[in-house]
Chains A and B, each alone.
Chain A
Amino acid sequence: MTELSTGLTSLLAGESTALARAITAVDNEHPVARDILGAIQAYLGKALVVGFTGPPGAGKSTLVNRFITEMRARSKSVGVVAVDPSSPITGGALLGDRIRMSEHTLDSGVFIRSLASRGHLGGLSISAARIVDIMDAAGREIVILETVGTGQSEVEMAEIADVRVVVLAPGLGDDVQAIKAGILEIADILVVNKSDMPLAKQTVRQLKGMLALRAPVERQVPIIETSALDGKGIPDLSEAVFDQGTNHASTKKLKSADRYRRLLAQTTARLAETLVHQQAHTHLKTVLEELKNADINLDTAACRALKILNENLLND
């Protein structure tokens, strides 16, 4: 094994400044990120990664704040990655999740990082997964990932987190019907937050109804009622997370499947990078033209693109 740089040594020793800078390197796709990610591979897999997703305003950040308190009471060190969307037009973002977690600001056992979703090559899952890995390598025992549950991001979180918590709340419109599609499938734990509000019971009933309609599955998805405002139900949530977490630990045999998935993700990201940097689109002109004329469908086009790239670029 080659000697580690001082930055890497500090990162692996859990030093906060090094952690912050390593995250930036990855987020900015800085060349040094590749060295960092390469060097930490041997130190991964210790953290329990807990994902919180759900519609905006459901109370995810407020709930994460309570969850951090629980984890700190159990003397676990905590890393939080809170992702908010970037504006697709300006690229800017207002990152305010950590406002709800401000009571933990001065606790050195809690490291919170706000991220904008940006337009990462390979999508949010790639960069968020890498940042979660960095927190893991830095020795954070519990890594919390907060993402807004719209469209792709639930599925992306499902790939990263060991335990997936989907947070819903009453009074967000008829969201239970609207978001059920992707969300119920990925949830290990369903939380109905804002149980202090009168309509919460109704949301719970709707959810139970929907779960009952599902094909029988081997695992039970618990529904937990919480109030992130007054703290009700938070201990139950922690219990459920650790239950699922131990399940996960007992299926850690999946680890090699995990590595395979990561390899695929990394390969995809590298391929996209190759495409952009080497301006492969000059090679893809004909495919693009055929796609434009609707001569071929997207999937066929993708297969053809892979073939062309294989011939022209990947051997370089």
Chain B
Amino acid sequence: MSEVKPYPPRVLVTKIGLDGHDRGSRIVASYLRDAGMEVIYTNPWQELDSVVKLAMEEDVDVIGISSLATDHLLVPKLMRSLSDAGLSHIRVIVGGIVPDLDEMELKKAGVSRVFHPGSTREDIIDSVNQLAIQALEARPSF
């Protein structure tokens, strides 16, 4: 009878690999929260398997991975693991210092967007909102 109501996007903001600087991801998390999203925040140094289980349990629409060092090189492997877990509707974005060549690799692996230093708050928020809608549309029904 009733139509599906709009609900806040759910976003997992996390860091993988060895780099422990999480100032950037904290800032992005608070941007998204202030834009009305539900943000699940984790410690840095997550293993890929942990990210997959977190995303599954929390049933997020978007995963934001922050990478200052070369940790983004692990992301293609994460994309495969998500797909293996039946979570390929989840959109993944990467933020941080990512060289152009690597960015191409990430996109090829299925990453939706790469945000470089200096990306604006509005750009990040708009993009995550858009991607959350895409994830909702791609979501398997119960």
Contact = CB atoms under 8 A, between A and B. Distances in A.
Decide whether A and B are members of one complex: yes
B41 A96 contact: yes
A91 B36 contact: yes
Contact of A29 (B5, B32, B85, B142): B5
Interface string A89-108: 01111111011001001100
Q: How many of chain A's residues touch chain B, expressed as a range?
A: 35 or more
Given A28-B5, A92-B34, A98 B42 contact: yes
Contacts of B86: 17
Given A22-B142, A25-B142, A92 B8 contact: yes
A113 interface: yes
A77 interface: no
Nearest to A80: B57
Contacts of A95: 38-41
A98 B40 contact: yes
B49 A106 contact: yes
B33 A87 contact: yes
A68 to B, nearest CB: 14
Interface in B33-89: 33-43, 47, 49-50, 53-54, 56-59, 85-86
Given A7-B142, A93-B33, A273-B2, A102 B42 contact: yes
Contacts of A24: 59
Interface stretch (A30-38, A152-160, A194-202, A303-311): A30-38
B142 A32 contact: yes
Contacts of B4: 28, 30-31
Contact of B57 (A16, A29, A31, A102): A16
A112 B57 contact: yes
A266 to B, nearest CB: 16
A116 B85 CA distance: 25
A114 interface: yes
B108 to A, nearest CB: 27
A206 interface: no
A90 B56 contact: no
Residue in B4, B5, B57 with the greatest tally of chain A CB atoms within 10 Å: B57
B101 interface: no
Given A5-B142, A31-B1, A94 B29 contact: yes
A116 B38 CA distance: 7
Interface of B: 1-2, 4-5, 7-8, 29-30, 32-43, 47, 49-50, 53-54, 56-59, 85-86, 140-142
Given A93-B38, A105-B54, A106-B50, 12 more contacts: A17-B56, A21-B140, A23-B59, A24-B59, A32-B141, A87-B34, A92-B33, A92-B35, A94-B41, A95-B40, A113-B58, A114-B58
9 contacts: A7-B142, A20-B58, A28-B7, A31-B2, A94-B39, A98-B40, A99-B41, A113-B57, A116-B38
Interface of A: 5, 7, 16-18, 20-25, 27-32, 36, 86-87, 90-96, 98-99, 102, 105-106, 111-114, 116, 118, 273, 277
